[in-house]
Structure 1
Amino acid sequence: MDAKLSPEQGLNISGIGLASLLALGLSATALTFDWMANRTPWQAMSLTLPLLLCALGSGFIGHLVIPVLQALKTGQIIREDGPQAHLKKAGTPTMGGIFFIPVAVIAACLLSNFAKEVLAVSALTLSYGFIGWIDDWQILRRKSNKGISPRMKLALQVGFAAVFCIWLMFNQPTNITNIALPWVSFSLPLGLLFWPLAGFVLVAESNATNLTDGIDGLAGGTVAIALLALAVIIAPTSPGLMVFCAALSGSCLGFLAHNRNPARVFMGDTGSLALGGALGAVALLTNSLAALFILSGIFFVETLSVMAQVSYYKATKGPDGKGKRLFKMAPLHHHLELTGWSELQVVGTFYIIATLLATICLAIAPF
């Protein structure tokens, strides 16, 4: 019997291995910090129980929902000018966010005993997920890469951000407008300037996470790492939101059971916009914007690569109306693919970078 594996089988095992290592690493991290804080891992207000419960729940429900998405013909439309290896992904169901986001939201609300801050963050998360669903649905309906107009998408994001900020004004924690800087002994007082910043954070974080979602397992894994690190950082002061972050991190892990390379489903804007909104909302409520900035390093660089690409193209546009490209393709992960990196190399490298950023945050966080 020939014991050699085909390239597809080898890739499949590598994808499973990468997702498994991430799941083991995050589970060990949750157990360790629960032990350090004298929390039992099976209690509702812990890191471990929400993480594992949502990972299992999301993974199981995915087996039920993905065939339905396939039957509804929600196959992803692939850009022809992108990496050629992506063309074989055409037809893979998208809108996976419709099952793993609600799993985390429901679990977090139940485990936190419907704490008002958890309800508020959950509402913002679902609202941004709804924007993403509209965009995904329009893409599928039109059978193109164009969903709702960028202006409409931005207007909806700003609108929901404004509603959240209004709620925050009347339910704000003490000194929320003073941005805490964990590596120094003072805060940065912003006063009224905090509110436009808050709206910008929600919109920018959701769009940055959305741009990162372009390779199997990339957004799901990097966001899972950022969420669990944020959960650890805010645990001493915001146990309810700690549970929310741990639950959403676990739900991302369950989603990766289906989204790791080769993916059986994509999260779509339904998932990516919701994840970014959740990160931004939690950071605002817990005065963790400095930590969020570090944890979002990958999302930030991905966004900068797109901005730089567009700006450079416009600046070098000649009489023929064509400009030069700074990258082979933006965002950055596509550029790396087109320079010869495999998807798994990109994802593995980004996981390592996300872990390093999380470690830096945990090292400087004032526990």
Structure 2
Amino acid sequence: MLYYLFEYLDKTLNIPGTGVFQYITFRSGLAFMLSLLLSTIYGKRIINFLRNQQVGETVRELGLAGQNEKAGTPTMGGLIIIFATLLPVILFAKLHNIYIVLLIVTTLWMGTIGFIDDYIKIFKKDKQGLKGIFKVFGQVGLGVIVGSVLYFSPAVTVLKNAANSPVIKQTTISSIVQAPVEVKSTATTIPFFKNNAFDYAEILAWTGEGYQNWAWLIFIPVVIFIITAVSNGANLTDGIDGLAAGTSAVSVLALGIFTFLSGNIIFSNYLNIMYIPNSGEMTVFISAFVGALIGFLWYNSYPASVFMGDTGSLTIGGIIAVLAIAVRKEMLIPLLCGIFLAENLSVVLQVAYFKYTKKRFGEGRRIFLMSPLHHHYQKKGYHESKIVTRFWIVAIMLAILSIVTLKLR
């Protein structure tokens, strides 16, 4: 909203200094600072409100050290993250930008699903929360919306022949160059490969002429799968104090770098990566989101004063997935979100191996002492703050390696 006000002051009244709001870096900095202040200052008020409403965590008997002490700790802290993210975005972002609209819808959509799940657990005294099938329906629904908008919206394009842009190359009348054009595309990038463009439409090339018109049959299911997988991965990672918020902040910060570079025609040309018009605006959202996550850590670090609950974890996963898809870096998710992947795989492998051994040997056996993975290390006797710190370090290493893929190909 402030963006439009200052744009009016600059272009209509020509007031000196108001043009600074045109710069994404300036608005991103303001969004980060405001979200950090909101989450730290008003976060305490939200925690007190949740405590007064007796919105306390119900702890299962898992036989883990320090687990019982967490009973009654306020949950639904994801409301802090959502509030501290959306308010700066509304103030400083271009609200007509299609990517900002998608991210706001994602935040509210996944936040609502998580809120319903937490509400059922706390007020209905049902430890299972929202039935898994309804969570999946919600994730699939968001995937259909995001996939359809990214595929069909004329506002979502990539720039073909960006190197020939007048911004990049000065031409004369006698120069013959193919002008850059914005085109609809389902292309993405494959990390670690030099010619790393991959178009989902090519999967249907065997069907013959006009196969590009049916690319949505591949693209939308891929979007659904990614959103479901990443949101569930974030949900599983939220098991000990500060783990999900800290690792997510690192991953989102790396995505912010990709977003800023992909949305800048000069940097994208220099790095030889896909230029995505208008995508740079997502940097404002990412800055607000990172600020909210860091501010939330103020209260969620060990010993936690509040838990994010599914309200926060499902929202975080959904946002990360949509960001990666929008900036055409979804194939980097296994690396960038390696912690989420490890947590997901630990559960899948544990359940699959248990069922297999029970069927074959008559009794179930386990690969890990307990899943998800962070509980395995707790069972081994590691303090949860040590586990969280080491997982953060791994997340930072993975994020750096992901950024290095810009040139490592």
* Counterpart residue type for residue 25 of structure 2: M
RMSD between aligned residues: 2.2
Name the residue aligned to 1:113: 94
TM-fit CA distance, 1:84: 3.5
C-alpha separation between the residues in 1 aligned to 2:47 and 2:325? 34
Alignment of 1:25-40 (within 5 A): none
Query: Which segment is superposed worse, 55-64 or 215-224?
Result: 55-64
Q: Which of 381, 385, 390 does residue 349 from structure 1 map onto? A: 390
Alignment-derived partner of residue 15 in structure 2: none
TM-score relative to the length of structure 1: 0.84
Match of 2:200 among 183, 190, 204: 190
Taking the aligned partners of 1:360 and 1:141, their CA distance within structure 2 comes to 43
Gaps of at least 5 residues in structure 2 are: 1-19, 159-183, 202-214, 264-278
Q: 2:76 aligns with which of 53, 73, 95?
A: 95
CA offsets, 1:263-299, max 9 Å, x none? 0000000000001100111111111113333211110
CA distance 1:59–1:345, shift in 2 (3 Å): same
Q: How far 1:61 sits from its partner (Å)?
A: 1.3
CA contact (8 A) 2:143 2:220 kept: no
**In structure 1, what is the equivalent of residue 145 of structure 2?**
163
1:288-367 to structure 2, matched below 5 A, reads 288-317=329-358, 322-365=363-406
In the alignment, structure 1 segments of 5+ residues that lack a partner are 1-39
Which of 17, 25, 29 is equivalent to 1:45? 25
CA contact (8 A) 2:151 2:186 kept: no
1:150 aligns with 2:175: no
1:366 Cα offset (Å): 5.8
Structure 1 equivalent of residue 44 of structure 2: 63
Alpha-carbon distance between aligned partners in 2 of 1:272 and 1:71, rounded to the nearest angstrom:
23
Out of 247, 255, 273, the residue aligned to residue 314 of structure 2 is: 273
1:50-70 Cα distance to aligned partner (Å, 9 max, x none): 323211211111111101100
> What amino acid maps onto 1:50 in structure 2?
A
Q: Give the partner amino acid of 1:190.
A: Y
Shift of 1:113: 2.3
8 Å contact kept, 1:45–1:239: no
Question: 1:234: which partner in 2?
Answer: 259
State percent identity of aligned pairs. Answer: 36
TM-score, scaled relative to structure 2: 0.76
Cα distance between partner residues in 2 of 1:176 and 1:200: 19
**In the alignment, which of 94, 100, 121 is matched to residue 139 of structure 1?**
121
Contact kept in structure 1, 2:114 and 2:311, CA below 8 Å: yes
Report what 1:22 is aligned to.
Answer: none
For residues 302-330 of structure 1, give each alpha carbon's deviation from its aligned partner in whole angstroms, at most 9, with x where no partner exists: 10000001001101115997411211110
SS in 1 for 2:25: coil
CA distance in 1, matches of 2:104, 2:337: 20
The answer as to whether partners of 2:247 and 2:395 remain within 8 angstroms in 1 is: yes
Matched with 1:203 is 228
Give the drift of 1:256.
0.5
* Counterpart-to-counterpart distance in 1, 2:186 and 2:22: 35
Decide which moves more: 317-326 or 169-178: 317-326
Structure 1 Cα separation of the partners of residues 375 and 366 of structure 2: 13
* Match in the other structure for 1:36: none
SS at match of 2:358: coil
Structure 2 distance, partners of 1:82, 1:153, is 28
Residue 288 of structure 2 aligns with which residue? 247
Following superposition, the deviation at residue 42 of structure 1 comes to: 12
Structure 1 residues 42 and 74: alpha-carbon distance in aligned structure 2, compared to 1, 3 A threshold: farther
Q: Structure 1 residues 357, 125: CA separation in 2 closer, same or farther (over 3 Å shift)?
A: same
Q: Which residue does the alignment assign to 1:83?
A: 64
Q: Distance in 1 between matches of 2:185 and 2:64?
A: 44
What CA distance in whole angstroms lies between the structure 1 residues aligned with 2:360 and 2:237? 33
What's the offset of the Cα at 1:163? 1.8
Q: CA deviation at 1:176?
A: 4.3
- 1:207·1:276 contact (CA, 8 Å) conserved in 2? yes
Contact 2:142 2:224 in 1 (8 A): no
The CA distance in 2 between the partners of 1:224 and 1:41, in whole Å, is 25
Letter of the 1:210 counterpart: N
Alpha-carbon distance between aligned partners in 2 of 1:132 and 1:230, rounded to the nearest angstrom? 23
Summarize deviations over 1:167-199 as a string: whole Å, max 9, x none.
Answer: 222223235422212432231221222221111
- Deviation string 1:140-186 (CA, Å, 9 cap, x unpaired) is 12334210111111111111221222222222323542221243223
Greater gyration radius: 2
Instruction: Say if 1:41 and 1:48, in contact at 8 Å, map to a contact too.
Output: no
Mean CA deviation greater in 347-356 or 287-296: 287-296
The SS at the match of 2:219 is helix
What letter corresponds to residue 178 of structure 1 in structure 2?
A
Aligned length: 328
> What is the match of residue 128 of structure 1?
110
**Counterpart amino acid of 1:138?**
I
1:173–1:285: 8 Å Cα contact kept in structure 2? no
